[in-house]
Every structure is written in structure tokens, then in C-alpha cells.
Amino acid sequence: MAQVLATPGVYIKEESAFPSSAVQVATAVPAFVGYTEFAIRDNKSLINKPTRITSLGEFHQFFGRGPETLYNVSENEETVFAVEAEANTKFNLYKSMRMFFANGGSTCYIVSVGKYDYEKGVAYKDLNDPGEEAGIPTLLKFPEPTMLVIPDAVLLEGEADCYQLQKDMLMHCGKDMKSRVALLDVYNGDQPRTRDENDVIDKAREGYGMEFLQWGASYYPFLNSTIVQGDEVTFQNVKDLATLTPILDKHAEDIYEEDDATAIKAEIAKLTGDHDVVNLHQTLLAKLPLYKAILAEIRNDMNILPPSGAMAGVISMVDGEVGVFQSPANVSMGSVVSPTVNLTSKDQEDLNLPLNGKAINAVRSFPGKGVLVWGARTLDGNSQDWRYLSVRRTVIMIEQSIKIASEAYVFEPNVVNTWVAIKGMITNFLKDQWKQGALAGAVPEDAFSVDIGLGSTMTPTDILDGIMNITVKIAVTRPAEFIVITFQQQMQKS
């Protein structure tokens, strides 16, 4: 409305010299759902309240540390001993968080669905319950996360529960939000393929279903990590110390003379009584190689982790160093010794190019290079549009950035001046993306186009109905997944 001038004097009027701009939204913000030691901040519960953190220290402050995973130790004729974890004491979130930060992760959201319950273990209803707004549904009101990760899914007692939860993850990303992708693990992904009815990859592909596949990526196999250090495992991780005592007594008798064996057995007897944990642990480590071997085996089992947490860190690192348009592949993984299954190029053929298109991205070990992510596909591998994870995530970023910037023009007059302003804003944003390498083309005109206006994207009826249509076309860069080098001999020329 024009200013009414009634009093003589000098009036100053400022006008904006520059158009509105679109700002790129964050692309590397995973949301982790799982169990924690506690969930409290400022004496208020954080159970099922998505909480933004930026470091492992903050996680310790608000959610505590890892669970007390217990193991059963038994005698074995072939290997002397065998260890087996108590299923209800295993929880993956904390160790996956450590893997996330070890692989370049920074900002993330934590949804604690409850404290460690060693009687119940991991439960499907805790991780996803729309009725009680527990787990996944709590993220509906939080637009910032761009990835959804639930490493505890593979610990569900039933395989069907795991894949139902992962289908819920895909639905949340592809139907409810359309602004994030799900990073999935293969149930029993620490096991090799059997090529029969129990093949872990075939069962995974069946379990994922057929809906919203472009919104998820799956990784195989599990990882042998170094996250759990030697000093974090003691005899307190053995569930029944009474079963450990006779194994160690026999070992002491085998390697020591009678007097020394008696002294060592006296120390072993303290396991089932009152004892100084640190001193007793150090004594047994020094005197009994078998005790050290048992704890090493327990630690190795603790360090077997699904790859989704590490992949969230890898994606965050790649986004920060290059950009969301760069495929999170051919990247070395930190704190990883090896994959649990050593895959060859032949093994990966069916993983990467199955007939049904449900590609499973491989994690492979290469001599002299280390453990690398060697796959860049979504589960919708037969789609030319959404085959690659980087393409799916780049389009999400562009869509959300333009959407948020365009909200400033809601209820503005649907006239040419508004159309020009919006077109200029989107064009400038896309030109910046082209300069960074997200869009392909020798010149901006080859990389994108923006159309808006009466007779172009709108009819007079659209304007009467209050509808403003904008058409944006983009040529997203795609990874060079297959590089073919052709060699041919030529005639001698001199």
C-alpha cells in the first residue's frame, strides 16, 4: 500500500536490491532409532523424543553408554571352548553410533525407544508403533533428518519382524516424508550365501517387498570392526562364572606345575566370590592364555556389526567433503578390519544386477586398499530414474531446498512479477548446484530449465483456483559405475 504523505518533510524509502535466494538444506543428518542406557536431559525423559546431537560426548551425556552384553562359555572338544551371546543382552545402537562418528559422521538425531531390558531384548513394537507414537512415527514432525537407520532391526527375534520393520522404514521415507532414505541391513548378514531356500540375500529381497524401493539402500555383509577395545571386555561379560571356572582350572593344570597350578586355581576361585575386578582380571590375563583367548573371542563377537551405522558416517563424510551428488562408494571404511564374508567380483554380480532390480550394495576387502564400499545403488535397480542412491538424494536435496524457499511466496499475487521472482530464485540456486557439479551439462541451459507462467505451466483456471505451477527439469550427474577401456593394436608407423 502506498504511503500517504500529509506532513511536509523528507521521507526515506528502502527497497530490496536483490531477489530472494534458495539455501541448500542439510543432506547428511541420519536419525538413529534404538535402545540406550538411559534417556534424560535436564531431569526430563527423552524416551521417544528425537534429540539432535553433534558428538559422541553428547550421546554419553544424554543417553549413556553401551549394554552389558553377556556370553555363555562352554567346553568344546575341537576348539577347547565356545562362546555364545545371550540374545536379549545384545543391542547395536551404541556401537553403531561409535561407527558413525568413526567414519566421519557429525550431526544426527537419536530416538531412544527405551532402556536396555535384558529380559525382553529388542521388540518390534518399541521400534515402530504408530498407535503409541513410539520409534519411527516420532520423526514425522522433524523435517531435518535425511536418513533413517535402525541397526537393532537385525536383532529382532523373528526374521519376519525384521523385514516388516524395514518395510515400515521404506514407507516412512517414501510415503510419509519423501525427504529421506532408509539405510537397511540384511538379516543374518554375517552369514555367507547358501544359494538355496535359506539364502540370506534372496530372503532379504523377498522381505523388502515391492513398495518404495527407491527410498532405500541395503548393504551386505556385516563388518568385523575394532569399536570394542580389549579393555572393555572382562570376566564380567560371562553370564555364569561357575561354568568358566572348571575350564580355566583344567587349563591351569595343563600348563603349570602342581604348586603353581594350585596358586592359579586359588585366583580362579575368586571369580565366583567377592573380588577386585581390575586386579583379578589383570592376574588372569597374565597367567592364563586361555582366559585371554576367551575374552578375545567375546570381543570379536561384540565387534561384528551391521554396516548401516558406518554407512551413515561414510555418507555424511562424502557429503561434507564433495557433495550429495557424489556416490558414497569406493570409500574406505574406518574402524573396520574386514567384512564377515569375503566377496569376489563374481559373488557381487548377482548382488548388483539381479533380475528383480533389488540391488544389495557390497562391502568388500581389496588387498592394499582396505575395506571399501563397493556399491552405489538403491533397491530400485531397474529404474533408470532412481537406480543410484546419489541421484535419489540429490533430487531430494533440490526438491526440499526449492520447496522451503518457495514458501515465502505463498499467498503472494499470482502474477508475472511473482513468477519472475520465483524463476530467478530457482535459476540462481540451480546454477550454483551446476557449478558445484551436481548437475550435468556444458552450460547451465543444458543442465536445467525452469518454466512458470500463464500459457506455459498454468491456465486461467489454475490462477482462479489459486494454483501456481512451476516445472523444473534437471540433469543430475550419475556415477561411472562401469568403466570399459578398449585396447587395440595398430600398425607400426616408424
Same domain flag for 384 and 474: no
- Domain membership of residue 22 (yes or no) is no
Same domain flag for 355 and 273: no
**pLDDT confidence of 2, banded at 50, 70, 90?**
low
- Under DSSP, is residue 120 helix (H, G, I), strand (E, B) or coil? coil
Other residues' Cβ atoms within 10 Å of the Cβ of residue 177: 19
36: phi then psi, degrees, rounded to nearest 5: -135, 165
Same domain flag for 248 and 322: no
- Is residue 319 packed enough to be buried (19+ CB in 10 Å), middle (13-18) or exposed (0-12)? buried
**Cell digits of residue 44:** 526430563
Rounded Cα distance, 184 and 204, in Å:
10
Rounded Cα distance, 417 and 405, in Å:
17
- Domain membership of residue 21 (yes or no) is no
- Domain membership of residue 9 (yes or no) is no
Exposure string of 283-295, with b = 16+ CB inside 10 Å and e = fewer, is bbeebbebbeebb
- Domain membership of residue 469 (yes or no) is yes
Same domain flag for 179 and 312: yes
Residue type at position 233 = V
Same domain flag for 59 and 169: yes
- Under DSSP, is residue 109 helix (H, G, I), strand (E, B) or coil? strand
Q: What is the CA radius of gyration of the chain?
A: 28
pLDDT in the model for residue 97: 97
- Domain membership of residue 99 (yes or no) is yes
Inter-residue contact 227 to 193 (CB < 8 Å): no
Beta bridge partners of 383: none
- Is residue 487 packed enough to be buried (19+ CB in 10 Å), middle (13-18) or exposed (0-12)? exposed
Please report which helix (H) or strand (E) contains residue 471, including its range.
strand 470-474
What's the helix, strand, coil split of the chain in %, to 5?
40, 20, 40
Look up the domain containing 282 and give its range.
230-302
H helix runs in 184-307, sequence order: 200-208, 241-255, 258-269, 277-287, 289-302
- Domain membership of residue 127 (yes or no) is yes
- Domain membership of residue 110 (yes or no) is yes
Global pTM exceeds 0.85: yes
Tell me: the pLDDT tens digits for 183-213? 999 999 999 999 999 999 999 999 999 999 9
Identify the CA nearest to 217 among candidates 276, 254, 170, 151: 170
Cell 554419553 belongs to 60
Same domain flag for 38 and 131: yes
**pLDDT of 364 over the 70 cut:** yes
H helix runs in 322-388, sequence order: 345-352
**pLDDT of 329 over the 70 cut:** yes
pLDDT in the model for residue 43: 94
pLDDT in the model for residue 12: 85
Inter-residue contact 371 to 339 (CB < 8 Å): yes
Total tally of structural domains belonging to the chain: 3
| Rounded percentage of the chain residues whose pLDDT exceeds 90 | 88
The CATH number given to whatever domain includes residue 48 is 3.40.50.11780
Q: Which of 390, 421, 455 marks a domain boundary? A: 390
- Domain membership of residue 246 (yes or no) is yes
Report the helix count and the strand count for the chain, using DSSP H and E: 15, 20
Tell me: the pLDDT tens digits for 267-326? 999 888 777 888 999 999 999 999 999 999 999 999 999 999 999 999 999 999 999 999
Q: Are strands 51-53 and 30-36 parallel, antiparallel or unpaired?
A: unpaired
| Rounded percentage of the chain residues whose pLDDT exceeds 70 | 100
Same domain flag for 36 and 121: yes
Same domain flag for 135 and 217: yes
Same domain flag for 312 and 359: yes
